[in-house]
Amino acid sequence: MSTKEIETNAIKMVAAGKGILAADESDGTIKKRFDSINVPSTEENRRSYREMLFTTKGVEDFISGVILFDETLRQSAQDGTPFPTLLAGLGILPGIKVDKGAKPLAGAPGETVTEGLDGLRDRLKEYYGLGARFTKWRGVINIGEGLPTSYAIEANAHALARFAALSQEASLVPIVEPEVLMDGGHSIETCHEASEATFKCVFDELSKQRVLLEGMILKPNMVLSGKDCPSRAGVEEVAEQTLRCLRSAVPEGVPGIAFLSGGQTDEEATAHLNALNATGPHPWELSFSYGRALQAPALKAWVGEASNVPLAQKVLYHRAKCNGSARSGSYSTAMEKEGVAV
């Protein structure tokens, strides 16, 4: 393990004014995205789409890292440049999703545990050789009647910590992603309770498994009302509840927290991040690691047509710029009017 390398890269990943683009959709997820715009999910279409994202002029001003899927890490731009090399040339760190997805947790109806630890050490060595400098693993926590159980929280926390320790052993920065889902009609208070219990358990496991906090990034959910809640909390309350939760659970040694968007609209995710940063300073950098909330407008503009690439790239640049401004609490809804209509 190169302690200096992972600490340096972790700081780069949460550099001021920047965040992480999650482009690590599994085959099933990217197919759903492409189905929504009536584009076949072929390897070449996936490659072309990702190249469009990565070659957006100026995107490196707001994007510090990109999470890739296994297929994408091995692909190249049209000119033959491997994607990891292309990104590194822009000063963007290439990363890789390494988990195998959430599967039903035995003996726990309605709950899951993420798989993928078998053979992970060898995969990590290969990924480092292919140019990856950080990794990501997602654990999923459901809220429902009697859920989450401590059993599910502990099972996922243990897996997240094992993943993180193995990643650091391979000189890769782990993005530890415990996601308490928005699905359901629960209140923001219920989300706070589940999130706090989850994050505390995760850091307890990280400590037990000797993970270097200075060489990792936390990718949590924000504390939100369930998407079916009849009276959803506003922007300021989301920021207040999220910060209260983080202060009680996240050690100050962690260099940065890169929030997932988790079902929020593009503008909601930006507004919430802005509100969080507007109340600083905080012990950690408060950043973003958005997938759909960065990509959705660009995907809609592209619709699989090469002639639409310039427009789609302008749309992506605008979304990245808005989130870059939210890193310092300087975003305003007026910035949305500067965007490109799709």
Note the pLDDT tens digit of each residue in 172-192.
999 999 999 999 999 999 999
Total structural domains in the chain?
1
| pLDDT at residue 338 in the model | 79
CATH for 314? 3.20.20.70
219 flagged as catalytic: yes
Active-site hit among 219, 285, 314, 321: 219
Instruction: Provide the phi-psi class of 131: left if phi over 0, else alpha when psi is between -120 and 50, else beta.
Output: left
- Reduced to 3 states (helix: H, G, I; strand: E, B; else coil), residue 139 is strand
pLDDT confidence bin for 287, thresholds 50/70/90: very high
Whole-number pLDDT of residue 341: 55
Choice among 25, 51, 111, 177 that is catalytic: 177
Query: Does residue 314 have an active-site annotation?
Result: no
Q: How far apart are the first and last CA of the chain?
A: 46
Closest to 258 (Cα-Cα) out of 282, 295, 301, 222 = 222
The domain of 77 spans: 3-338
What is the tens place of the pLDDT at every residue in 23-78? 999 999 999 999 999 999 999 999 999 999 999 999 999 999 999 999 999 999 99
Cβ burial, residue 42 (10 Å; 0-12/13-18/19+): exposed
Q: Identify the pLDDT of residue 21.
A: 98
Token readout for 305 is 């047509």
Condensed to tens digits (0 to 9), the pLDDT of residues 233-267 reads: 999 999 999 999 999 999 999 999 999 999 999 99
